Amino acid sequence: MIPATQLNPIIREMRESDLRKVILIEREIFLFPWSLENFADSLRSGYLCRVMEDNNTVIGYSIMMVGPDEAHILTLGIGADWQKKGLGAKLLNYLFDLAREKNAISMLLDVRESNHGAAKLYKQLGFQQIATRKGYYPAMCGREDALVMRLML
Ligand SMILES: CC(C)(COP(=O)(O)OP(=O)(O)OC[C@H]1O[C@@H](n2cnc3c(N)ncnc32)[C@H](O)[C@@H]1OP(=O)(O)O)[C@@H](O)C(=O)NCCC(=O)NCCS
């Protein structure tokens, strides 16, 4: 385990050459991971794709889409070894600034109802639940609801 004090991560644009590393983290932290093609499509679509890197190692990533007024976080992850060290909050704060730069006035994201850790973080940062999407996600036993959360930027 790396102590949080020894981390000095940077956040930069994701490149095609990062995808292999991103997908390894994705498969490690999500039960229903995106495919490499999903990430490649996001890059091709011009979404705001970022990686967090520490000491030349990719340790996290995010994909955000910004439309008129509204930013959507499509996915966000921190590698298992680097979680709970404040890095998710750091990446989200970076995304708030980036979305504001692009003139977004609110930010939306979906989170699985069972993902209490992520939902707690989003609430700590000011997100509020505004809706529920019934059966939005695949789950081990059928489907699971998504909480739709919004932050006014
Ligand atoms: C959700 C995620 C991005 C958070 O990143 P992180 O670097 O672990 O989060 P941080 O260290 O910045 O967390 C800060 C706060 O979030 C909450 N939190 C984060 N992970 C948590 C967990 N597993 N259990 C409980 N609380 C958690 C805590 O409130 C924590 O504050 P505290 O330390 O004062 O209690 C990361 O855990 C992750 O990638 N998880 C797997 C993928 C995922 O769920 N992505 C989000 C999909 S919507």
Distance in angstroms (rounded) separating the CA atoms of residues 97 and 6: 25
- The pTM score is 0.95
- The yes-or-no verdict on residue 99 having pLDDT over 80 is yes
Q: What is the pLDDT of residues 106-122, one digit of tens each?
A: 999 999 999 999 999 99
Q: What is the pLDDT of residues 112-150, one digit of tens each?
A: 999 999 999 999 999 999 999 999 999 988 999 999 999
Distance in angstroms (rounded) separating the CA atoms of residues 96 and 1: 29
Task: Give the pLDDT band of residue 6 (cuts 50, 70, 90).
Answer: confident
Best residue among 121, 129, 148, 150 to mutate for probing ligand 1, ranked by most atoms within 8 Å of CB:
121
Distance in angstroms (rounded) separating the CA atoms of residues 143 and 32: 12
Pocket of ligand 1 (CB under 6 A): 29-30, 76-78, 83-89, 111, 115, 117-118, 120-121, 124
Lookup: tokens for 59: 């340790």
